[in-house]
Structure 1
Amino acid sequence: MTSQRILRNYRSIGPTKFHHLNQKFRNSLLDYNKIPESFWAAHPQLREEYREASEKYDLIYHESMLGSKLAIAERERRQEELVGLLDEIASLLDMAAVRTPELLILSGFDLAKERRTHSRAKKAAASQNDQDSIPA
Structure 2
Amino acid sequence: MAYQRILRTYHSIGPTKFHNLNQRIRNAIMDLSRIPEWFWAAHPKLREEYLGASNKYDVIYHESMLGGRLAIAERERLQEELVGYLDEIASLLEMAAVRNPELLVLSGFDLGKERRAHPRAKKAAANDDDQNSVHA
TM-score between the two structures when normalised by the length of structure 1: 0.89
Q: Alignment length, in residue pairs? A: 135
Q: Secondary structure at the match of 2:103?
A: helix
The aligned residue for residue 15 of structure 1 is 15
Q: Which has the higher helix share?
A: 2
Considering only CA atoms, is the larger Rg found in Structure 1 or Structure 2?
1
Q: Percent identity?
A: 69
1:95 aligns with 2:89: no
1:133 aligns with 2:103: no
Specify whether residues 68 and 118 from structure 1 end up closer, same or farther in structure 2 by C-alpha distance, changes over 3 A only.
Answer: closer
Q: Deviations over 1:25-58 (max 9, x none)?
A: 1111221111011101111100000110000000
The aligned residue for residue 49 of structure 1 is 49
Partners of 2:27 and 2:16 lie apart in 1 by 17
Gaps in structure 1 of 5+ consecutive residues = none
Q: Secondary structure at the match of 1:10?
A: helix
TM-score between the two structures when normalised by the length of structure 2: 0.89
Q: Secondary structure at the match of 1:85?
A: helix
**Aligned runs of 1:74-113 on 2, under 5 Å?**
74-113=74-113
Report deviation, 1:129: 2.0
Q: Secondary structure at the match of 1:112?
A: strand
